[in-house]
Amino acid sequence: MKTIKIVQTASQLPQKIVTNDDLAEIMDTSDEWIHSRTGISERHIAVSETTASLAGDVLKKILAQSGVAADQIGFVIVASMSPDQMAPSMAAEAIATAGLTNAFALDVNVACSGFVYALTLADGLINTLDADYGVVIGSETLSKLIDWQDRSTAVLFGDGAGGVLIKAVDGPKRLLAADLKTFADQADALTAGHLWSSEVWHQPKHESRYFHMDGHAVYSFATRQVAASIKRALDKIPNDVTDVDYFLLHQANQRIIDKAADLLQQPAERFLSNVSHYGNTSAASIPILLDEMVRSAVIQPGQLLVLSGFGAGLSVGSIVYKY
């Protein structure tokens, strides 16, 4: 049995940056109101960029920086809740952009948990397909799902993409444990992107494509279930929470990250964060953070990492990975 090794990271952000003060010019809010409740100061917003183009740029960066040839990639998985269209997939568009000829393409939609789920899926595929390399990307343009007059959601989200190149290697497992769970009875707490029924055959429900979120329910879910998921994952291996070097949580809200640290009784400095600069980028948030921390040498080979995502579904997922 082979195991996956992350051998390259990359990220791509839209050029346009929208600050809290910019938002205050178009809605009833302020920098103090946003930052005190979320920890967010600014976010990147796509103008000319798309979900597929951001994913394609990440894929091209991964190939250029790793030196791995395009025809060595066996598969590309893109996690996204904000595709540009229903078909073809964002992964298919990304491999076309990057000139891959041997890879198959697959999209995964588990919203903000998507990257963790996709990386777990890739761990299984690397053996099933006997592939040498695979790429897992989280890419989002959530700005197209935002009602810019609804400050309860508009201030939270941003756009961007991040990803990893994984290699099949022999030796001890690196993805040591995973915990994936869906709480479908709470699905209505966070929705977006409704597609309307045909008016030809019956009266459609004209539900909004914009984000609808029960903020209290989602916050309560995240603060309880993230810590619980991390504990369940760690319970599957000999290591415990004190052995973890860094926690990379989905970057939804600084208060949620701080609460997870408190519940796990671990130092806040081990919970890495960049939410201040990017906001909630859904499936892209963890790989963007991972890429930043690898490039800045905060994350080093041999460290024990926990990656944990949470969001619509409602869903939660955590993996323990030996970097």
Of residues 303, 135, 289, 316, the one with CA closest to residue 218: 316
Beta-strand relationship, 315-322 and 175-182:
antiparallel
Length of the chain in residues, anyone?
323
Cβ–Cβ < 8 Å for 319, 175: yes
Given 20, 109, 253, 280, which residue is catalytic? 280
Given 112, 206, 216, 239, which residue is catalytic? 112
Annotation says 112 is catalytic: yes
Cβ–Cβ < 8 Å for 250, 286: yes
Q: What are the beta bridge partners of residue 213?
A: 190
Q: 35-38: long-range contacts at Cβ-Cβ below 8 A with a sequence spacing of 24 or more?
A: 35/276, 37/253, 37/255, 38/155, 38/156, 38/253, 38/254, 38/255, 38/275, 38/279
Given 20, 44, 109, 250, which residue is catalytic? 250
Hey, what's the torsion of the CAs at 144, 149, 152, 157, to 10 degrees? 30
Annotation says 44 is catalytic: no
What does the block give as tokens for 229?
Answer: 């998921």
Residues marked as catalytic: 112, 250, 280
